[in-house]
A and B are shown apart, each in its own frame.
Chain A
């Protein structure tokens, strides 16, 4: 890395010295004579430029005879040639607002004015200063209607992005991700469930934030209608950076360092120590059996037996979490070379990301090489863009259930046990002298946290290439053909080790697997553009796409290792072998027609037909395997059309309707049998492998959405208000409907249900202060989504429910419930008498009552407040992220009750509770712990100070003495503070899965706050 930098620097000097240079200075003012800050001053045809300071002054080194271009939003761009003069006094006149162009479906660029739907674009820069290892998480709070859940899974984990609410009963609710016009895979590669496991990451995590020019979110169905079956959940379009027109080779360098520490929500009791029935253990056996339980005596400092036979003071040991978790840190360095001219541009970027996680012995590295290059020869333009990503993650933390989950143990030790006393062998943490796990309690499944962190392995390496090659040819004036081949391919190597000597599997087990996943898209698009007159134009697109997907995996698991501590699958006495294969294809034809009248009224009609192999019956019988997806939209700019007063820059009203869809996986239409050839006692074994009953026939799900809105910009863009209302109905969801396992199957694949999402999105951008000293930009985005599961399995039956997830405690669930919002957190309530009193059994223990829904696990309301203040070269910004209305089942607290850790369990220890005597009060709380889930269902609403950025731009007047053209130093912090929450002992953002069943928490990786510094230089 260093070497490349030095070479580049040398090149840079060579390049810059080869031109005769001259410094020009000047001041830029309004026609009223007020200085203008932040005016872009660019040496035309190059990337050489600067911006004006507080007083409107600028200074720039330019080549002799250069042309300077001055641009400022809301003002007319001015150009002039630098002659012998070296000082300029310039006044800019206010001009027509530039008609901004945005990227839409299929990479088609369209005027904002013409859009009949809501589109939000954010700059790549807003993702790179306050960095997240997963770029998706950096979107949180920034876009109205885009909900980002950052689960408690560690830095290599997935992100859950949902736009305008969950519509699909099952399967994917996340948007399509498109990079430079080509869809990429964003599948979750595995996540934790009730029995534990880890988050193996997703596809979007491969996208390198430093290569992103902009992110455009197509929220509604009309916006994505040209993506047909893939548009049901919205679309995120990522445009990568291109080369800029420069005289030579430009160099961009960005270095970012962040350090993170856990946000300590831990607030368990520290008054009673380990023990049982109110007593201290007296023998090692007792202490070992009670190692997890804080049902002992009041902590009195006396010498008390612990699990290892050592007597230690019976007093609170203080913060175990700080002893266990490390500060995490992330280094991200990226370097890009760019160049451009009249007929070509290129950019080559390299990024190295190194992360050390807060979980000991965990982290990841990600190396990216990317390019975006194009060249034009006559009527032909050829472009290549793509990335190669090498991603290696070490020890993805285990979550949820206890085996191998260090978080579980670290968070649930009695306060009299010091986690450092569990370290064992200093050369092999968590181990006894003989190398096996140092157990500290009698439950083999509650793993020593040091052993879990240092001896378990769960690593994966991904090598991925995605990108596209495209050729555009102008056949005739106005008629262009574009052919594109896009590919996304990755191979993943995965290794999991449950080491030899682990208490719950004393001989250990090793799994190794390889997986290849590929998608190829062939696309051809014809575009015909014709303006019949100044007032009437037409823009037609027609095209087709062929999508081919393939996945293949092979794996081996070796259990009962023969040679102790030799962790390779071949060393296993029991070996199992797995192979998986799937492929599918979708053919599509599509077209779009846009008509514009007087640059104010726009009408757009699109249509797409998709043919699915996955809906084709494998027995050859007739199947409904094709669907047509239409859309229509209209927009009208009142400012242009009605000649509104000049304070209205733009005043657009819009309305649209579309029908898009969803798809399903291959091989769902038949009941299959699998064979285990090695068998038993020489006999082959075979069984039905389908856990899901195949359907007689299946159609794709349908999303129909109506959207209206308006977008107004006032006072030279100082105020922008965009409001959208949408009403989306998703029907015929393809679902593995959970049925009674007594049917032999856990679920049944059906086309069912109807889910409605209605909502409002408001985007308000205001610049309350803008003068020569200070600029203040305020952005507020607000979204409220009303979700309702209208019907589930059978339309005629009411009160149906479907189970999405289950907690390890086995008494809290996530259900879909008819008539209620998506993802209901279900729990057993207290049994209450008619007066509402909690009913007790003969022993005074509370009785469990009905299983009831306690609210949705998805926040219906989301508010983001962004502020940015600029004082000359200094910028200060912050983002507040507010979510409200969702619930979470707090399994940490359920265990806190069971183990006597929770502060509430202090009550009654001296006096008893009702008929329960003091020494047996643990029975009272333990009965609640895994019997009455109502007690642990919390409101997950929160307000967080999500992001704070302080940036300092190197001032123009010192640049001439520095070897670069521009630079910014920023300090950034993320998740700096929780402003409010009502979940005790956990962060409200603590779900352990990115699946559809949101609202279950259990011993995930703690949420962190991070501080970082970012240095960005251009040469």
Chain B
């Protein structure tokens, strides 16, 4: 009965509803007319560079609120600027991790996959994409420690839903090998104007690649000196960034797509509708610049109501500021010059100043060729000149730089402190890098604050906490155990990462 009813139905249906079959036209109907199934990888490479520069979300939280405060570049009394006082906000701490994999890793991995297939693009593109992947992961592992790396971003490509966490040691060694191999692929072709870093200039990419290699190599200086030395040698032999034309940065604009803006500007650029007025130049910063007569103080600071540069001490709140001898209201302290934190200012990834300072450090350690004093001077000079990228009016007179160098000559006995201080200045607004290098070198010597309720017993935290949303997932739990981390997320921030010895 059921069967004959069914046959009857089918017959009836074919006659009335389904001319020849009951799913006629369905293939076309289920194709989205507003999206593409394939895309030029250069569009995606451009996108990924922009997203690595980042949005307001993680720039506000992980970079500014935590890193810039812990590094005492900046200071704030506002309670939610938790990095100033080492208190805990899980969502702020994990913000870079929360955003990077879906907004940066997913597409760069897809670009690499497309280019490796060899149907479109060229080897130079592939080399650039692989170097960019290192830029993304180096930052992530420095901030968090062990992270998903080798299996990350491959959800659609390889069906890996819960990527394993790789150790930072593995990641560093692999990234170095990747850099070497990727630099080797740089030749003719490339992304051209779709590359916002250098407009496709392959020579500049090569220098960028070797400079990244130097950065990674030096990061291992304490934990793996021999490896660090070997890779430093390769990097210096390959040729690192020399002057400010080599600086790796992306230009931002105020539109038109809504993702063109500098993420830091989206926090601090009041003239464009973004209104966080909490941060001030820190006392550490202003006092240091003042004592050395550093011309950058006038580039960065806008004096407050006292009429003279004045840095806000870290660790104050609205009440304790009332007893502060250098000023009792936040308006008495230097705000950041809007010219360097607008929505259309560039975002630095790596500068020639950093590369030259690392080379100076290598020379001091006896790992590099060349003269430490020369590299140091280059580093200082480039570090001052790089602000002209932000605005022509921020160019420093060469005479001022000469005067600074004359007043603060390279001192071999105090080299590591000098280099560390200059590196700290050169990475102002590249806070992830400042935080990583400080943890490695311990310079400059920052005096931690000890605010009630801080999570690190009055010490500057040693990493940021993973997202709580990873809790209970097997790969994360394994990584937690392997790194000796407890269930308590705030306490994770007191455990050093692998290279931090």
- The answer to the question of B80 belonging to the interface, with a C-beta cut-off of 8 Å to chain A, is yes
Task: Check B330–A285 contact: CB distance below 8 A.
Answer: yes
Task: Check B163–A740 contact: CB distance below 8 A.
Answer: yes
B135 to chain A: which residues have CB within 8 Å?
A: none
CB distance from B314 to the nearest CB of A (A): 16
CB distance from B199 to the nearest CB of A (A): 10
- The answer to the question of A598 belonging to the interface, with a C-beta cut-off of 8 Å to chain B, is no
CA of A1019 to CA of B8 in the docked complex: distance in angstroms? 51
In the complex, identify which listed stretch (B26-34, B285-293, B397-405) lies at the interface while the others stay far away: B26-34
A742 to chain B: which residues have CB within 8 Å?
A: 101, 105, 147-148, 152-153, 163
- The answer to the question of A851 belonging to the interface, with a C-beta cut-off of 8 Å to chain B, is yes
CA of A757 to CA of B333 in the docked complex: distance in angstroms? 64
- The answer to the question of B317 belonging to the interface, with a C-beta cut-off of 8 Å to chain A, is yes
Task: Check A691–B255 contact: CB distance below 8 A.
Answer: no
Q: Using known A-B contacts A285-B318, A841-B491, determine if residue A744 contacts B470 with beta carbons closer than 8 Å.
A: no
Of residues B8, B106, B196, which shows the largest number of chain A Cβ atoms within 10 Å of its Cβ? B106
* A-facing residues in B24-49 (Cβ within 8 Å): 25-27, 29-40, 42-44, 46-48
Q: B46's contact among A573, A674, A683, by CB below 8 Å, is which?
A: A683
B39 to chain A: which residues have CB within 8 Å?
A: 673, 675, 686
In the complex, identify which listed stretch (B9-17, B214-222, B376-384, B420-428) lies at the interface while the others stay far away: B9-17
CA of A607 to CA of B178 in the docked complex: distance in angstroms? 60
Which residue of B is nearest A839, CB measured?
A: B488
Which residue of B is nearest A686, CB measured?
A: B43
CB distance from B181 to the nearest CB of A (A): 22
B153 to chain A: which residues have CB within 8 Å?
A: 742-744
Q: Using known A-B contacts A740-B473, A842-B457, A930-B89, determine if residue A847 contacts B488 with beta carbons closer than 8 Å.
A: yes
Which residue of B is nearest A443, CB measured?
A: B80
In the complex, identify which listed stretch (B230-238, B272-280, B296-304) lies at the interface while the others stay far away: B272-280
* A-facing residues in B69-102 (Cβ within 8 Å): 77-80, 88-91, 98, 101-102
Task: Check B37–A589 contact: CB distance below 8 A.
Answer: no
Residue interface bits A268-282, CB-to-B below 8 A is 1, else 0? 000000001101011
Task: Check B155–A277 contact: CB distance below 8 A.
Answer: no
- The answer to the question of A836 belonging to the interface, with a C-beta cut-off of 8 Å to chain B, is no
B25 to chain A: which residues have CB within 8 Å?
A: 585, 613
Task: Check B147–A580 contact: CB distance below 8 A.
Answer: no
Of residues A739, A740, A828, A847, which shows the largest number of chain B Cβ atoms within 10 Å of its Cβ? A740
B370 to chain A: which residues have CB within 8 Å?
A: none
- The answer to the question of A593 belonging to the interface, with a C-beta cut-off of 8 Å to chain B, is yes
A679 to chain B: which residues have CB within 8 Å?
A: 46, 257
Which residue of B is nearest A507, CB measured?
A: B273
Residue interface bits B94-126, CB-to-A below 8 A is 1, else 0? 000010011001110110000000000000000
CA of A842 to CA of B156 in the docked complex: distance in angstroms? 45
CA of A974 to CA of B151 in the docked complex: distance in angstroms? 56
- The answer to the question of B388 belonging to the interface, with a C-beta cut-off of 8 Å to chain A, is no
Task: Check B17–A506 contact: CB distance below 8 A.
Answer: no
Task: Check B155–A743 contact: CB distance below 8 A.
Answer: yes
- The answer to the question of A609 belonging to the interface, with a C-beta cut-off of 8 Å to chain B, is yes
CA of A850 to CA of B472 in the docked complex: distance in angstroms? 8
Which residue of A is nearest B192, CB measured?
A: A683
The size bracket of the interface on A is: 35 or more
CA of A279 to CA of B486 in the docked complex: distance in angstroms? 35
A583 to chain B: which residues have CB within 8 Å?
A: 29
B445 to chain A: which residues have CB within 8 Å?
A: none
CB distance from B85 to the nearest CB of A (A): 11
- The answer to the question of A83 belonging to the interface, with a C-beta cut-off of 8 Å to chain B, is no
B321 to chain A: which residues have CB within 8 Å?
A: 285
B44 to chain A: which residues have CB within 8 Å?
A: 673, 686-688
Task: Check A743–B160 contact: CB distance below 8 A.
Answer: yes
Q: B78's contact among A289, A574, A693, by CB below 8 Å, is which?
A: A289
Q: Using known A-B contacts A673-B37, A841-B491, determine if residue A748 contacts B161 with beta carbons closer than 8 Å.
A: yes
B89 to chain A: which residues have CB within 8 Å?
A: 930
- The answer to the question of B50 belonging to the interface, with a C-beta cut-off of 8 Å to chain A, is yes
Task: Check A845–B78 contact: CB distance below 8 A.
Answer: no
- The answer to the question of A616 belonging to the interface, with a C-beta cut-off of 8 Å to chain B, is yes
CA of A620 to CA of B24 in the docked complex: distance in angstroms? 11
CA of A51 to CA of B273 in the docked complex: distance in angstroms? 69
* B-facing residues in A262-300 (Cβ within 8 Å): 276-277, 279, 281-283, 285-286, 288-290
Task: Check B272–A560 contact: CB distance below 8 A.
Answer: yes
Task: Check A626–B22 contact: CB distance below 8 A.
Answer: yes
CA of A505 to CA of B343 in the docked complex: distance in angstroms? 14
CB distance from A933 to the nearest CB of B (A): 10
CB distance from B29 to the nearest CB of A (A): 4
B473 to chain A: which residues have CB within 8 Å?
A: 740
The size bracket of the interface on B is: 35 or more
CA of A740 to CA of B77 in the docked complex: distance in angstroms? 35
Q: B9's contact among A289, A591, A828, by CB below 8 Å, is which?
A: A591
B22 to chain A: which residues have CB within 8 Å?
A: 587, 589, 609, 611, 626
- The answer to the question of B256 belonging to the interface, with a C-beta cut-off of 8 Å to chain A, is yes
CA of A544 to CA of B275 in the docked complex: distance in angstroms? 60
- The answer to the question of B475 belonging to the interface, with a C-beta cut-off of 8 Å to chain A, is yes
Task: Check B46–A685 contact: CB distance below 8 A.
Answer: yes
A479 to chain B: which residues have CB within 8 Å?
A: none
CA of A694 to CA of B196 in the docked complex: distance in angstroms? 31
Task: Check A618–B31 contact: CB distance below 8 A.
Answer: yes
CA of A444 to CA of B270 in the docked complex: distance in angstroms? 13
- The answer to the question of A132 belonging to the interface, with a C-beta cut-off of 8 Å to chain B, is no
Task: Check A613–B102 contact: CB distance below 8 A.
Answer: no
Task: Check B272–A741 contact: CB distance below 8 A.
Answer: no
- The answer to the question of A849 belonging to the interface, with a C-beta cut-off of 8 Å to chain B, is yes
Task: Check B318–A675 contact: CB distance below 8 A.
Answer: no
CA of A575 to CA of B258 in the docked complex: distance in angstroms? 7
Of residues A289, A443, A813, which shows the largest number of chain B Cβ atoms within 10 Å of its Cβ? A289
Task: Check A667–B154 contact: CB distance below 8 A.
Answer: no
CB distance from B476 to the nearest CB of A (A): 8
A504 to chain B: which residues have CB within 8 Å?
A: 275
Which residue of B is nearest A691, CB measured?
A: B102
- The answer to the question of A503 belonging to the interface, with a C-beta cut-off of 8 Å to chain B, is yes
Q: B318's contact among A276, A625, A673, A850, by CB below 8 Å, is which?
A: A276
B79 to chain A: which residues have CB within 8 Å?
A: 289, 442
Task: Check A927–B30 contact: CB distance below 8 A.
Answer: no
CA of A512 to CA of B54 in the docked complex: distance in angstroms? 27
Q: Using known A-B contacts A546-B17, A688-B110, determine if residue A559 contacts B273 with beta carbons closer than 8 Å.
A: yes
B12 to chain A: which residues have CB within 8 Å?
A: 526, 542, 544, 589
CB distance from B15 to the nearest CB of A (A): 9
- The answer to the question of B443 belonging to the interface, with a C-beta cut-off of 8 Å to chain A, is no
- The answer to the question of B193 belonging to the interface, with a C-beta cut-off of 8 Å to chain A, is yes
B276 to chain A: which residues have CB within 8 Å?
A: 444
CA of A845 to CA of B110 in the docked complex: distance in angstroms? 45
Task: Check B43–A810 contact: CB distance below 8 A.
Answer: no
Task: Check A573–B148 contact: CB distance below 8 A.
Answer: no
Q: B270's contact among A506, A842, A845, by CB below 8 Å, is which?
A: A506
CB distance from B172 to the nearest CB of A (A): 18
- The answer to the question of A746 belonging to the interface, with a C-beta cut-off of 8 Å to chain B, is yes
Closest 7 CB pairs of A and B: A507-B273, A744-B106, A686-B43, A923-B453, A743-B155, A672-B35, A289-B318
Identify the B interface with A (CB < 8 A).
Answer: 1-2, 5-6, 8-10, 12-13, 16-18, 22-23, 25-27, 29-40, 42-44, 46-48, 50-51, 77-80, 88-91, 98, 101-102, 105-107, 109-110, 147-148, 152-156, 159-163, 193-194, 196, 251, 253-260, 270, 272-276, 278, 317-319, 321-322, 328-330, 452-453, 457, 468-473, 475-476, 486-491
What are 26 inter-chain pairs, A to B, with CB distance below 8 A? A276-B318, A283-B318, A286-B322, A581-B33, A587-B18, A587-B23, A607-B9, A618-B31, A620-B27, A625-B23, A666-B29, A670-B32, A674-B35, A676-B257, A678-B257, A681-B251, A683-B46, A686-B36, A691-B102, A693-B156, A742-B147, A742-B163, A743-B160, A744-B153, A828-B468, A847-B491
For the complex with contacts A672-B35, A803-B469, 20 further pairs of A-B residues with Cβ separation under 8 Å are A526-B12, A587-B13, A589-B17, A593-B1, A593-B5, A611-B23, A616-B30, A617-B30, A619-B27, A673-B39, A678-B256, A693-B155, A694-B156, A743-B153, A744-B101, A806-B469, A810-B468, A849-B487, A927-B88, A927-B453
